[in-house]
Each structure stands twice: as structure tokens, then as C-alpha cells.
Amino acid sequence: AIQDLVKERTFIDVGANIGIYPLSLYKDASFIYAFEPEEKNYKSLLHNIKINSIKNIKVIKKAVFSHNHKKIALYMNKDDQGWHSLSIKYSGGIQKVESITLDYFVKQNKIDNIGLIKIDVEGGELDVIKGAQKTLKEIHPPILIEFNKPISELTGHKLTDIYRLIVGNNYRGYTLRGNLLNKIEDSDIMGIYNENILFIYGK
């Protein structure tokens, strides 16, 4: 299902880490923008692209957020490189990173043919969506977003907050079971523990 969405279209990966999604989708997508603010992950991602001689991935060392051009704190998680967060104050140190909104980035780069936006930012999902409202309203890209209940509880907002902000733009949510899409109702959100949800416009 994911390959079909990005085929010959732009894929935007918010929270690319070391590049699992870009490295598996670059042959399908026409172009990939991968956001990764953390220094080590960023360097690993660049290295992985280089050794595979991939030409259609651009890596942006910024944190996608609800506000533009701010220096914000990225909290390091000592145990897992994939868990660094803007929203959860881990004790493994701080990196100052520059923020950008998806709305600003999409407009600046004149991107319109978006096949998919993937968002996996360890509790920062609500901020990413807040900074992408224009993109959702005008371009209606499919969105794949991690709904993680324990992490959202640590940030002080609920999964229902993220859900409402997206479906308010005339989207429907689906769980992925292999290649099968299962439509979710509003009441299902309370029962989600940790799952990727695909939102599709107007279905």
C-alpha cells in the first residue's frame, strides 16, 4: 500500500532516523525529503544514502514543528537513538536544533505532488500537524503517523488531540494489516496502544 502511494510522487519523511523508509522507498518515489535533526542519526542517514549511491533523497537537518526558525531543544534518549524527542525531557543531554513547519517547507520548495507524509517524532506529532494545516487543507496528502499512547501521555496531550486535528480536515483514519486498510472510528482511538495510522483525505 505504501509503495503504491509514493509511486512517482514526492515522499516526505518527518523523523527519518537513519533512513529505513527512504532507503526502502527511493526506487518508487520520484523524490524524497527526509527530516532528521539529531546529529548522529543525520550523519548515519547521509552515509546510508551515499554508500547506496541514491540521488533522489534530500536530507534536511531540522526539526519539523509548529513554528518556524526557532532554536529548540531536542532531548537525547541514552537508551535508543530512535527515541530522541522535542516533547519528552529525557536526561541524555540536549541538542539545539532549528525548527521548520511543513507548510513553510512545502511552499518554499513548491511541492504539490505529495504521495505520502510519514510522521514519527516521539511525541512531537501534534506540533508537526499544527504546522501542516495549510498543506492538509490545500494538497490533501495521505499521512502515515505513529500513534503511541505511552509516549503521548508523557507529552501531556492525547492521541485524540492529534486524531481530531487531522480528521477535522476531512480525512479518514485506517489501520494497516498487510495491504488491507481497516477504517477506524472515533471511538477506536481510545483503544490504540502503539500503531501506525494511515490518514487518507475524503474517503
- Pick from 82, 117, 115, 111: nearest CA to 197: 117
Q: How far is CA 104 from CA 46, 127, 155, 165, in A?
A: 23, 14, 25, 19
Q: How many CB atoms lie within 10 A of CB 169?
A: 18
Q: Which of 118, 101, 106 is nearest to 66 (CA)?
A: 101
Residue 83 identity: W
Cα separation of 170 and 175, whole Å? Answer: 17
The helices-and-strands tally (H runs, E runs) of the chain is 8, 11
Cβ burial of 183 (10 Å; 0-12, 13-18, 19+) is exposed
Q: What is the three-class DSSP state of 182?
A: strand
10: Cβ–Cβ under 8 A, 6 or more apart, which residues? 29, 30, 31, 32, 33, 111, 113, 114, 115
What is the model's pLDDT at position 69?
75
The terminus-to-terminus CA distance of the chain in angstroms comes to 15
pLDDT at 82: 61
Contact 99, 61 (CB under 8 A): no
Local structure of 201: helix, strand or coil = strand
Q: What pLDDT shows up at residue 76? A: 77
- Rounded to an integer, what distance in angstroms lies between the CA atom of residue 157 and that of residue 130? 13
Residues of the chain predicted below pLDDT 50: none
Place of cell 509548529: 66
Read off the C-alpha cell for 196: 501506525
Grid cell, residue 197, equals 495510522
